[in-house]
Amino acid sequence: MSVTALWWAVIVSGIYHGVNPGMGWPLAVSAALMERKTSALPGALFALAGGHFLAMTAILLPFSMMAALVMWEAEIRIGAGLIVIALGVYLLINRRHPRFLARVPPSRLALWSFLAAMAHGAGLMLVPIYLGLCAPETLDAGHRAASDLMTANIWTAFWVAAVHTAAMTLAGGALAAGMYFWLGLKFLSRTWFNLDVVWALSLIVVGGIGIFTAGH
C-alpha cells in the first residue's frame, strides 16, 4: 500500500469515527441545547476532540517505540492486526456498552471522549495503518540509526493522531451542527442509528488488512 493511500485511510477512519454517535457528537448537541448558547457547540466539540486525540496518541506512542525494532517490524504488524481482530470479535459477542462511561458527568467531555475511544478500540483501529506508514521501506530501507527511526515514528504518531482527530471532529461537527441548527433532538431520537455491529466488523477488517500487508 502506498503512503498516500495509508494517509487517506487515516482521514477516512477519522470521518468514520466522527459520524459514529458512540464517539460523542450527540453530547455536543445536547450540551449546546441545555446551555442555550451556540458557542457551547464548538466548545463541546473541542473537548471531545481533545479527549480523542489523547486516546489516539496513548495507543500509538508505544507502537512508535516498538517500530524502532526494525528486525521485528513484520511480527509487530501481524501482532497488532491480531489484537484488533480479537477486539472486533469481542465487541461482536459483547454488545453492552461500558457502564463507566455513563458515570462521567457531561461537564467532563474530554475525559468521556478519551475513555470512549479507548473502550471502543478507536485507537487500535489506527495501529495497523500507522505501522504501515512507519514500515522500514518508507524510512531509507531501515538504514537509519534506531534512535533516528524512533524519533521519526514518534512524530508520525502525533501526525496520524492529529489528522485523524481533525477528520473526526469535522465529520462529527457537521452532524452536530445539522442537528442543533436545523433538525433538533426530536429528529435525532427518532432516527438514532446504531453502528455497534458495523464498528466491530470494521475492526476485524482493518486487522485483517494489517496482517495481509505485513505479509507482503
Domain residue extents for the chain = 3-214
pTM for the whole structure: 0.77
Q: What is the mean pLDDT of residues 198-208?
A: 87
The reported pLDDT for the residue numbered 142 is 42
The three grid cell numbers given for residue 20, joined into one nine-digit string:
459514529
Q: What is the pLDDT of residues 114-148, one digit of tens each?
A: 988 888 788 888 888 887 777 655 444 444 444 55
Per mean pLDDT, which of 42-46, 139-143, 150-154, 182-186 is the most reliable? Answer: 42-46
Give counts: helices (H), strands (E), the chain. 9, 0
Q: What is the pLDDT of residues 62-118, one digit of tens each?
A: 877 765 555 676 777 788 889 999 988 888 888 676 666 767 776 688 988 898 888
Split at pLDDT 50, 70, 90, the class of 43 is very high
The pair phi, psi for residue 139, each rounded to 5°, is -125, 60
Amino acid at 174: A
Do 69 and 34 form a contact (C-beta atoms < 8 A)? no
The reported pLDDT for the residue numbered 69 is 56
Do 152 and 68 form a contact (C-beta atoms < 8 A)? no
